[in-house]
């Protein structure tokens, strides 16, 4: 809606990366646990959020979203030495085994994948031996009709990552490192750019009509990093909900 306020390529990339992290925060029922650990997080992005992400990318007039999500072959973006099946098929968020030193310096998503990977390890270690977490996972497996004695450690870890509270802590941990990494860029953002980013992020959080508990926490974290008063979140939420209501009303009138 107001993304024209973001004129510089690094600022546009910053927005899309934050939008993807926010979209991963909630969503998913924990049943889609196939693939890499990061792919489990990506599976939390629902169709409405993905549609909004694509709309954002179109408004920003950059080709970057598929590069983040790993939905296309991106070999043309990398030096030959960095090409691998992991990159070709899964993208940077799933190509954590490739040293960042050999990745193209013009693309920051290698840092994003590494931050997520590190966050997964930190939070997994925190909850790996937690009795309450183990009980929750066992109950989940049994309710899904699974055999707890045949579950591999990898699948068990993916299930743990998909738990809402743990998934949020992973995103929160990754954001801490992300903001350190982007400190110089964030410091150069104008007040207009900062508010635009937070407002548009509120839009994706409300794509299902509900601002979830963990989405709200992530947005507060972003506001803190951007030095934006938390009161703006409530105001932005109210405005976006009104816009959504008016848009739905207009659609219904047109469709009569």
Q: Exposure string (b/e) for 24-57, b if CB count within 10 Å is 16 or more?
A: bbbbbebeebeebbbbbbbbbbeeebbebbeebb
Q: Which domain holds residue 200?
A: 3-255
Chain Cα centroid distance, residue 18: 6
Confidence at residue 132, expressed as pLDDT on a 0 to 100 scale: 86
* 172 has a pLDDT exceeding 80: yes
* 148 has a pLDDT exceeding 90: no
Q: How far apart are CA 131 and CA 137, in angstroms?
A: 10
- pLDDT bin (cut points 50, 70, 90) of residue 85 is very low
Which burial class, exposed, middle or buried, applies to 86 when counting CB atoms under 10 A from its CB (0-12, 13-18, 19+)?
middle
Q: Can you give the pTM of this predicted structure? A: 0.80
Confidence at residue 34, expressed as pLDDT on a 0 to 100 scale: 67
Average pLDDT over residues 41-69: 89
* 63 has a pLDDT exceeding 50: yes
Would you say 38 and 96 are in contact if contact means Cβ atoms under 8 Å apart? yes
Would you say 244 and 206 are in contact if contact means Cβ atoms under 8 Å apart? yes
3-state secondary structure of 101: helix
What is the number of domains present in the chain? 1
* 239 has a pLDDT exceeding 90: yes
- pLDDT bin (cut points 50, 70, 90) of residue 120 is very high
């Amino acid at each position: 809606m107001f993304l024209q306020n973001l004129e510089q390529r690094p600022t546009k990339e910053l927005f899309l990366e934050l939008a993807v992290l926010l979209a991963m925060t909630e969503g998913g029922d924990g049943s889609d646990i196939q693939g890499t650990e990061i792919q489990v997080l990506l599976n939390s992005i629902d169709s409405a959020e993905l549609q909004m992400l694509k709309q954002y990318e179109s408004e920003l007039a950059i080709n970057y979203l598929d590069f983040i999500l790993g939905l296309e072959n991106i070999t043309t973006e990398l030096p030959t030495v960095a090409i691998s099946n992991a990159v070709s098929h899964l993208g940077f968020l799933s190509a954590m085994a490739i040293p960042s030193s050999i990745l193209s310096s013009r693309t920051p998503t290698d840092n994003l994948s590494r931050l997520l990977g590190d966050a997964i390890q930190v939070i997994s270690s925190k909850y790996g031996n937690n009795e309450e977490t183990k009980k929750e996972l066992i109950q989940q497996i049994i309710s899904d009709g699974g055999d707890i004695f045949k579950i591999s450690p990898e699948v068990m870890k993916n299930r743990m990552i998909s738990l809402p509270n743990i998934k949020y802590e992973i995103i929160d941990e990754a954001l801490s490192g992300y903001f350190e990494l982007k400190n110089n860029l964030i410091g150069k953002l104008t007040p207009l750019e900062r508010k635009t980013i937070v407002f548009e992020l509120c839009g994706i959080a409300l794509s299902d009509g509900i601002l979830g508990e963990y989405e709200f926490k992530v947005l507060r974290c972003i506001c803190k990093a951007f030095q934006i008063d938390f009161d703006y979140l409530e105001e932005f939420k109210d405005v976006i909900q009104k816009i959504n209501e008016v848009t739905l009303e207009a659609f219904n009138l047109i469709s009569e």
